[in-house]
Amino acid sequence: MRVIPAIDLQDGKCVRLFQGDFAQATEYSDDPAAVARQFAKLHTQDLHIVDLDGARSGKQHNHTIIAAIAADSEMSVQVGGGIRDRAAIATWLDAGVSRCVIGSLAITEPDAVKSWLVRYGGDHIVLALDVNIDDDGNPLITTHGWTRPSNTTVYECIEGFRDLGLRHVLCTDVSRDGALAGPNIDLYANIMTRFPELQLQASGGVRNLQDLEALRERGIPAAITGRALLDGRITRAEVVSFQQNA
């Protein structure tokens, strides 16, 4: 299983939000490139970057920083936050980014996203699907920064893109993101049971090495972790050892 470190950018700084709330941001560094270099020492293959300013405005405010990280790093960089048209995807890919992360548009403008998936291929597009678990246990997708609920389950959404070459899906249980509450392992395992071909990225709630091991035992291909790494709850040595023993 791949461990994917995460960097969230706000005003050019590395931060973490609690459950997506911009009012509850913790600043970790004013040098995101240095954070990326530290993550590179973990011998990870991938790096996940979110432009939080872009997510709010639809404009790529941190483009220069992210492009510099992509150019400097041997990791495959995937970027999300405010990517809302084909031109933005082309710009990021031209800047050396490996994958563009598409969120709410997968629900609100699925035809456009499908056309991007066909044009650029499944290796360059990641669907970021944020879910809330309802009272009946259904993983319903929420959009627009987790502020608008939908009646579409994560399974229905994935099925709609499956035949177009969808390869990468990043799924976040909103209730667990940034809360260090443990990942929703059953949710991710259910997705993999239905869609075994996916390179699923489990996101939200990873606290420690034991959580990573539990995800690996259930066959989850990848897990994103930000706060646990930044807080030192998962150490460099643990990540390196975990990946060597994959």
Catalytic positions, written as ranges:
8, 130
Backbone torsions φ then ψ of 241, nearest 5 degrees:
-65, -40
Q: What is the C-alpha separation between 14 and 63, in angstroms, rounded?
A: 14
Half-sphere exposure of 209 toward its Cβ, with a 13 Å CA cutoff?
Answer: 13
Q: Is 137 exposed, middle or buried (0-12, 13-18, 19+ CB in 10 A)?
A: exposed
Structure token pair of residue 17 = 């939000």
Give the pairing type, strands 139-143 and 125-133.
Answer: antiparallel
CA distance to 24, 62, 139, 160, 171, per residue, from 184 (Å): 22, 31, 11, 23, 10
CA distance to 71, 78, 113, 172, per residue, from 88 (Å): 18, 13, 13, 23
Structure token pair of residue 119 = 């044009």
223: β partners: 3, 202
